[in-house]
Structure 1
Amino acid sequence: MRISTFDTSLRDGSQGENVNFSVDDKLAITQKLDELGIDYVEGGWPGSNPKDKEFFERAQNLQLKHALLTAFGSTRFARNPVHEDRNVDLLLRANTPVIAIFGKSWDLHTRVALGVTEDENLAMIRETVAYLKQHGKEVVYDAEHFFDGYRANRDFALRTLEAAKEAGADVLCLCDTNGGALTSQIAAAVADVRARFGGTIGIHAHNDSELAVANSLAAIEAGATHVQGCLNGYGERCGNANLAAVIANLELKLGYETIGRERLAGLTPACRFIAELANLPLRRDLPFVGQSAFAHKGGIHVSAVIKDSATYEHL
């Protein structure tokens, strides 16, 4: 089975405390991710800052061979008709084939953050997705705070997905936005969603509990076929799921296809390339791609590995 890969290094990853990319950096990284075989590259939020607006303007000149460039934004503002919402209009002006739109899945956020009723929130989701579909876009619906919302009010969380699905969303991506869900909770919720909805279910995990990779893999084993993350695990607070580790585990241990085995050797150069442009050292202890990932210091380990690497290496 094939799992589609969605890299958000240029959007969610750039929200990391020490991560700063110029427009030139973002264009170069987009090209590198395309060469690696990533399916979707989320370039940023064109309505949020001048840098992302410029990026999407200049990205029109990129000759991407595989990746689909994706613009990111929110559902319409509560006070705005969707056709008059500035942020929605800027998403369309980004001229990307795909738009990722996030909406609220947690009744707490609906009530406190947005200050709207549940029905008003459902209308914001439904109308925004439908409007983007009317303009010929592939729509990835990011269900923000889905797992928190699911635990607090399962019925409402599922109705938000239903609103997006009925409006034509191509992907329902379940987000562990606060990074607090445990792996068993992720698996159970994804299985429930999978049983209820057809089409493509996605997972977007944050690493606040050091479980983002495990949660992404568990979601896929429960039926998700679209996975989001960042090479090197960059992102706000504790970061996003490290997409390099997700890809390697899926391809080498679980038998799924992502970028293809022939491209796996490109993971390390791509991770180093992104780290260099971020002006950050690539962590030596990063799984699969770090310099110490297959290094040995203890004498017993070294002695055994010289005889057979399988003694102390998982691959």
Structure 2
Amino acid sequence: MPANAGRTDPGYAGPPSAGGEELVPSRYAVRIGEIDVLVVSDGVLPLPTKMLGHNVDQAVRAAWLNDMFLPTDAFDWSLNAVVVRSGDQTILVDAGLGLDPNLNLPRAGLLVRRLEAVGIDLKTVTDVVLTHMHMDHVGGLLVDGVKEQLRPDLRIHVAAAEVKFWEAPDFTHVDMPQGFPDALRAAAKRFAQDYRSQLRLFDEEHQVAPGVIVQRTGGHTPGHSVVRMASGGDRLTFAGDAVFTVGFEHPDWHNGFEHDPEEAARVRVRLLRELAATGEQLIATHLPFPSVGRVAVDGDAFRWVPAFWDY
């Protein structure tokens, strides 16, 4: 890991003043060559533990959770987004949950507030990259007043297959809590309507900025994508929802939000093998904040190696 990884970049404003609301950090900076990456927490999402592997027996899941010192009924999923600065572009990768009063998720949807706290004005964002159009990745763009703060020439990069999927989404293979399918449909539909003129669609791969490429993987959703960053010999992948905490030890477990769980497992294994071979850094939406680390092969599975905090 570069010596300056994790240190706040001079281009970002300092932390909120003492006496603010936050008692724990909500951002973490990494430098990939000449590219600045800032992980920003959107909060946490409490979900049933069945979402981690609905294709395995409850006792098997419970054993893994006990080994991880996690509750066996429900626990908090991290929600991570990243801000990338490459050249003269400022890129927001995913936009967080936003606000959905019908789901009662008060500890999520904090991204816009936290961007403001770190001194990132939404008007400076030139590009948005969406790994997919689930509501915890597009919802921040649907918060009242946000669109008015964005640049009129903002470019939103998303796979064409993703936009097509949400015209008539298939939920037959998911295993989500009640209310989530309707909320996901509504958020994706509204997002496509509100931002259609700003969408920049791609098929398989697209360069967003120097050293920043988005690649479609499919699996989690048909247009699910990852963002690959490379500069000066350093590399980092933002994997979106291709990898979850349990996916290192059990990459074949099906996550409840995967629309094609069999393909999602194949995508996960291919990606983890590649990351283990290259040694590059990994960030993912639902790995524990700040979710910066690397992947190692561990027998027939993998091992997550979190980075040491550097400050």
Q: Shared fold by TM > 0.5?
A: no
Higher strand share: 2
Q: Report the structure number with the largest CA radius of gyration.
A: 1
- For normalisation by structure 1, the TM-score amounts to 0.32
**Structure having the larger proportion of residues in helix:** 1
Q: Name the TM-score, length of structure 2 as normaliser.
A: 0.32
